[in-house]
């Protein structure tokens, strides 16, 4: 197993780094399409930490731990911001259900958790020691 | 933010010269395109061929633009790289925006 | 100031990540040539940590702290391996003096510290708390 | 390690199909090229045009190859990208290896 840990200041300009590291670390284990999905999920998760857990503060820290083994990439993202309302976790698996013709009512956000869940094989959230932990797993050979 | 604009026959063509349309760019993008909409533009063709990556706030920006234009507004988009196109599909926004392969198709679609 | 911290297992396959992160973090502040110099210096420094401080062990850790401010990129590389013979530091500034025509005597190594010093504006080493700390600085506008 | 080899008129042409010639690749590289030298090759043209990055152990590998060949050996190298060429200059190895812009020049130089 290969482990890498990255800690960034909670600034939007640091978010691309989180995806770039995943691609460096897991580049040999996944197809380009899968790597894009991993990048997408990580970016959405870290964006949420910055926007929701830290309410946009730029001087807090987010830690991203990558663990690559033969069969999977496991990523844990940790922030020390405010906790998540458990109701929100329903959004991970809820259908994005809106009327595409009703322009006035189109959603301008609320896609993040759905995208994270679609792009990864497993997504878990836990609150522990006053920290938020998001665990994201992508299998090298996806479960059928 | 690097964006090139051109107005021809009532259609505004916007070429985004950025690799990422993400949360860092979102505010600037909405401000800039918001201005162009405020000055009366209602038909927009977006060239995203330089964009390697879009996140959900980038998608959200495009929705905001559409809403700002009201019922007469229309946006077509061309030049989507595979990860960008995937995001339109994942968020089901491929039903809201007309996605095209070429500028020609996008110009045709915005006028139809 | 923007700060990022990266911790890697001491494996050669993780070394490219150290340079890639520098380029992500400092990409807006330096020219392509300067970024290549930074990458070169970081790679040589981390290679040395793996090869000399850790004698090739792959399960130890190396921490790379990047701090980008308006006028400089400061990088500190820390390992917990064995210390450096202070005599070796002379190699930072020594001329690479060998006869290019005397094939049998060509050096096959011993360039690393020299390259690090050439590629950065400031290089410092200190041993503290049983750890080796390498500090590398590149100025956005180089000192004249 | 991805390396393509071709032998024409007593000259061995090696094209390295890797982005990095670094400490990770070094051992495999020395083994592979060492074998080719053991089987009698003495004139080598290296194509490094795929290589974005070389570190000092990569440079060291090339020196090892030269030494393995003995007094009759010669190595010319072409296709160096700017950061790779810089490393030859920093280590002063541009005085040891003949660096060329094109394969043609490298073939000519190795035979001269
Ligand atoms: N990391 C987080 N910390 C706290 N709350 C969060 C986090 N991620 C998501 N949420 C909550 O879940 C909601 C849905 O998130 P998401 O699907 O990513 O859409 P959006 O971020 O666009 O609102 C957010 O509006 C927020 O209330
Ligand atoms: N990080 C380090 N820890 C311990 N010793 C080191 C370290 N870096 C360099 N050295 C010592 O300094 C010498 C010169 O290093 P360098 O110039 O990088 O060349 P090389 O690594 O090829 O020997 C090494 O052989 C080693 O003895």
Res A143: pLDDT: 57
Query: From chain A, which residues contact B within 8 Å (Cβ)?
Result: 12-13, 15-16, 19, 33, 36-37, 39-40, 43-44, 47, 50-51, 96, 98, 100, 103-104, 106-109, 111-112, 114-115, 118-119
Which is nearest to A95 in space by CA: B90, B96, B54? B90
Structure tokens at A97: 């259900």
User: Alpha-carbon torsion A99, A101, A103, A109, what sign?
Assistant: positive
Which is nearest to A135 in space by CA: A117, A144, A116, A122? A122
Which is nearest to C60 in space by CA: C134, C135, C132, C136? C132
pLDDT of B112 strictly over 90: no
Res A4: pLDDT: 98
Q: Do A36 and B22 touch (CB under 8 A)?
A: no
* Secondary structure string (H, E, C) spanning chain B: CCEEEEEECCEEEEEECCCEECHHHHHHHHHHHHHHHHCCCCEEEEECCCCCEECHHHHHHHHHHHHHHHHHCEEEEECCCHHHHHHHHHCCHHHCCEEECCHHHHHHHHHC
Q: Which chains touch A (3 or more CB pairs under 8 A)?
A: B, C
- Segments of chain C with pLDDT less than 50: none
From the number of C-beta atoms within 10 Å of its C-beta (0-12, 13-18, 19+), residue D54 rates as buried
pLDDT of A142 strictly over 70: no
Residue C138 CA to ligand 2 center (angstroms) comes to: 21
* Exposure letters C99-119 (e unless 16+ CB within 10 A, then b): eeeeeeebbbeebbbbbbbbb
Mean pLDDT of A76-104: 95
Number of domains chain D contains: 1
Range name among A132-136, C125-129, D5-9, D44-48 with the lowest pLDDT average: D5-9
Mean pLDDT of A99-126: 97
Domain that holds residue B21: 3-110
Mean pLDDT of A52-80: 98
Percent of chain D with pLDDT over 70: 100
CATH code at position B23 = 3.30.750.24
Residue A88 CA to ligand 1 center (angstroms) comes to: 7
Query: Given ligand 1 and candidates A113, A117, A123, A134, which is best to mutate, with the most ligand atoms within 8 Å of its CB?
Result: A113
* DSSP-assigned beta bridge partners for residue B99: B77
Within 8 A of B96 by CB-CB distance, chain A residues are 100, 106
Mean pLDDT of D87-92: 98
Nearest-CA distance B74 → chain A (Å)? 10
Closest ligand 2 atom, CA of C44? 18
Residues having CB within 6 Å of any atom of ligand 2: C 48-49, 51-53, 84, 88, 91, 109-114, 132; D 56
Q: Do B56 and A96 touch (CB under 8 A)?
A: no
pLDDT of D28 strictly over 70: yes
Q: What angle do CA D98, D104, D105 make, to 5 degrees?
A: 30
pLDDT digits over C37-55, tens only?
Answer: 999 999 999 999 999 999 9
Q: Do C2 and A20 touch (CB under 8 A)?
A: no
Q: What angle do CA C120, C126, C127 make, to 5 degrees?
A: 145
Mean pLDDT of D92-110: 97
Residue among A12, A103, A111 minimizing CB distance to B59: A111
| A97 CB neighbour count, 10 Å cutoff | 7
Res B39: pLDDT: 95
Nearest-CA distance C115 → chain D (Å)? 7
Mean pLDDT of D52-59: 98
Q: What is the average pLDDT score of chain A? A: 96
Q: What is the CATH number of domain A2-139?
A: 3.30.565.10
Structure tokens at D19: 């982005």
- Rounded distance between C-alpha atoms, residue D34 and residue D14, angstroms: 12
From the number of C-beta atoms within 10 Å of its C-beta (0-12, 13-18, 19+), residue A41 rates as buried
pLDDT of A144 strictly over 80: no
A86 contacts A54 by C-beta, under 8 angstroms: no
Res C141: pLDDT: 81
Closest ligand 2 atom, CA of C83? 4
Structure tokens at C50: 């793996």
pLDDT of B91 strictly over 80: yes
D77 contacts C117 by C-beta, under 8 angstroms: no
Q: Which ligand ends up closest to the CA of A52?
A: 1
Task: Tell whether pTM > 0.90.
Answer: yes
Mean pLDDT of D38-44: 96
- Own/partner contacts of C82-86, CB < 8 Å, gap of 24 or more, are C82/C52, C82/C53, C82/C55, C83/C53, C83/C127, C83/C132, C84/C52, C84/C53, C84/C125, C84/C127, C84/C132
pLDDT of B64 strictly over 60: yes
Res D24: pLDDT: 96
Res A30: pLDDT: 97
Which residue is listed with tokens 């759905």? A114
> Which residues, other chains included, contact C96 with Cβ-Cβ below 8 Å and sequence gap of 6+?
C107, C111, C114, D91, D92
Mean pLDDT of D90-100: 97
Q: Could you give phi then psi for residue D60, rounded to 5 degrees?
A: -55, -40
Mean pLDDT of B65-85: 96
Res C144: pLDDT: 60
Measured by CA distance, the residue closest to atom 13 of ligand 2 is C88
How far is residue A14 CA from its own chain's centroid? 14
């Amino acid at each position: 197993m290969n482990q890498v840990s990255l800690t960034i200041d909670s600034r939007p300009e640091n978010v691309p780094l989180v995806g770039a590291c995943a691609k460096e670390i897991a580049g040999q284990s996944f197809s380009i399409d899968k790597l894009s999905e991993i990048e997408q999920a990580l970016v959405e998760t870290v964006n949420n930490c910055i926007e929701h857990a830290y309410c946009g503060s730029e001087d807090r820290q987010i830690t991203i731990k990558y663990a690559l083994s033969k069969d999977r990439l496991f990523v844990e993202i940790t922030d020390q911001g405010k906790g998540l309302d458990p109701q929100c976790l329903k959004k991970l698996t809820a259908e994005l259900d809106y009327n595409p013709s009703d322009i006035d009512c189109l959603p301008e956000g609320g896609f993040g958790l759905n995208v994270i869940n679609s792009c990864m094989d497993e997504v878990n959230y836990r609150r522990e020691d006053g920290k938020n932990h998001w665990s994201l797993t992508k299998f090298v050979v996806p479960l059928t | 933010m690097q964006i090139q604009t051109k107005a021809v026959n009532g259609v505004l063509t916007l070429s985004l010269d950025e690799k990422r349309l993400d949360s860092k760019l979102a505010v600037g993008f909405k401000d800039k395109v918001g201005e162009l909409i405020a000055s009366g533009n209602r038909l927009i063709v977006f060239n995203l061929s330089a964009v390697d990556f879009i996140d959900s706030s980038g998608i959200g920006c495009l929705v905001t633009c559409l809403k700002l234009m009201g019922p007469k507004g229309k946006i077509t988009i061309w030049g989507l790289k595979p990860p960008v196109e995937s995001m339109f599909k994942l968020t089901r926004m491929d039903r809201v925006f007309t996605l095209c392969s070429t500028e020609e198709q996008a110009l045709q679609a915005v006028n139809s």
